[in-house]
Amino acid sequence: MIIGNFELVDGSYLGLIEMVGTSTTAVFKAQERGPDYVIVCPQQGSDIEFGAAWKRTSRERKAYLSVRLDSPLLPEPVNCALLEQEGGTYALVWNRRRAAEPKAG
């Protein structure tokens, strides 16, 4: 499920995250230490941090960002991926975890 759309501008990903009837402007800012990117919501005069992202490579050798969003407004952290789309845009994709299948006994 796509929950956000972004563009790469001067080394930062800029876009909008949409979840459960709310939308938030978000910026993935590159970091020298810690996670590769910190995710912030720009506010008047300051940024509110609500996630982090790490550079990864898929089995198919495609680069993507592994993203973890967290906020007091979320019931639990959200794990997702930022994937490049055709045309040079990026989609923030979330997949619900599947319950473990019971073992045959």
pLDDT at 19: 79
Predicted confidence pLDDT, tens digits, the chain (105 residues): 999 999 999 999 999 999 777 788 999 999 999 999 999 998 878 889 999 999 999 999 999 999 999 988 788 899 999 999 999 999 999 987 766 666 665
At 10 the pLDDT is 93
The sign of the torsion formed by the CA atoms of 74, 77, 82, 83 equals negative
- Quick check: is 19 in a domain? yes
Contact 80, 101 (CB under 8 A): no
- CA dist 76 and 61 (Å) reads 30
Structural domain includes residue 32: yes
User: What is the rounded CA–CA span in Å between residue 64 and residue 82?
Assistant: 6
Does residue 78 sit within a domain? yes
Residue 105 lies in a domain: no
Tokens of 40: 């912030």
Residue 81, SS3 per DSSP: strand
**Considering the domain boundaries, does residue 103 fall inside one?**
no
Residue 40 lies in a domain: yes
87 part of a folded domain = yes
Q: Which domain holds residue 77?
A: 2-93
104 located within any domain: no
Give the pLDDT confidence score for residue 44 in this predicted structure. Answer: 77
Number of domains in the chain: 1
